[in-house]
Amino acid sequence: MKDGRRELVRFAPKGNNSFIEMVQGEVNNYFLSNNISPYATTGMWVKTVIMLFCYFAPLVSMITGVGANSLWLFWGLWFLMGCGMIGIGTSVMHDANHGTYSPKKNINTFIGYILEVIGGYTVNWKIQHNILHHTYTNISGLDDDINGTKLLRLSPQQPLYRYHRYQYIYAWCLYMIMTLYWMTAKDYIQVLGYKRHDLLVKQKVSFRQAIFQITWYKMFYYGYILVLPLLFSGQPWYFVLVGFLIMHFTAGLFLSCVFQPSHIMPTSAFQLPVTVNGVHHMKDSWAIHELANTTDFAPRNRFLTWFIGGLNFQIEHHLFTDICHVHYRKIAPIVKSVAGKFGLPYHVQPTFLKALKIHARMLRDLGRKPR
């Protein structure tokens, strides 16, 4: 940081006949030769309907009295809403806000507003995810995905405190409250930081507009997600509150377990820029930096791929954010092959559980010693 602004970090030039040029060429050739659009397929639109149904159908069931006579059924409906929230976050909102549903911007924008419906704020998400995370992956101080809280040390460059020794144990509890924190306080805290760093200007939103919009969206969200069940579900307020927490704990834990093993791994490089004449330079080009700091997992698990929006193919997502996730499984062998030709790393774990196990080990190591 300098004078309240994020300093510019420059990546090395990609060069001629580089990795990114070759992999882009081969992936483009895949779509052209097979006459396939890189945007959403019919299957993607069907999945969108399914994910929305998984979220809204249980809510409608609750406020029409289903579950009034069965506490376990009532809480089961909240759990299903948590699953729907996961699906919307990974398979609907995520692709829409990357612009991969359609070449028409207004269609992507319209679908992307589902984030506001489930309690978030699109402007903040695009800054944190599309700009900061995808550009500066694993660079401490710039990637907001690893700068969330001092309770977790997610990078070797971050300060090490005594309590981090136990983070591999308590991290999962923090993961559980991830979406709950997001839907309450995080957007307000983020917008204050983004104002200081002039990041709202690029989104064509003033600070006052952002605060008003966040407040309005939060009121709408808590109005339907809590007030309606309190009034019409037939359950006491404390059972409604428990159900609400079940939904968020389900979504928060699972979403964190999808995102964290993609980057917080022993294989990730966590490079820092070198300062020359006041300018911060990365030794690698952007594409090579992404390869060095990203991990795929469970590439053969088709249901997991379907449910989490292809985010187990995180390398492909980072290199091709303009391609709908339904195509990642097909282009992954192309990316791996080209990386091999250039002698570059292509990190992949065979299963979801193994990726989580290694991530837990990484949390333990980060909490005990500087890397």
Q: Express each pLDDT in 225-243 by its tens digit.
A: 999 999 999 999 999 999 9
Q: Mean pLDDT over residues 70-87, rounded?
A: 96
Residue 2 has what pLDDT?
40
Residue 7 has what pLDDT?
61
pLDDT band at residue 1 using 50, 70 and 90 as cut-offs: very low
What is the chain's length? 371
Taking only the tens place, the pLDDT of each residue in 178-199 is 999 999 999 999 999 999 988 9
Mean pLDDT, the chain, integer: 94
Residue 17 has what pLDDT?
79
Q: How far is CA 135 from CA 8, 119, 144, 145, 269, in A?
A: 11, 25, 11, 12, 15
Q: How far is CA 31 from CA 91, 309, 310, in A?
A: 21, 20, 18
Residue 62 has what pLDDT?
94
Taking only the tens place, the pLDDT of each residue in 104-123 is 999 999 999 999 999 999 99
Residue 118 has what pLDDT?
95
Residue 192 has what pLDDT?
94
Taking only the tens place, the pLDDT of each residue in 122-179 is 999 999 999 999 999 999 889 999 998 899 999 999 999 999 999 999 999 999 999 9
Residue 277 has what pLDDT?
77
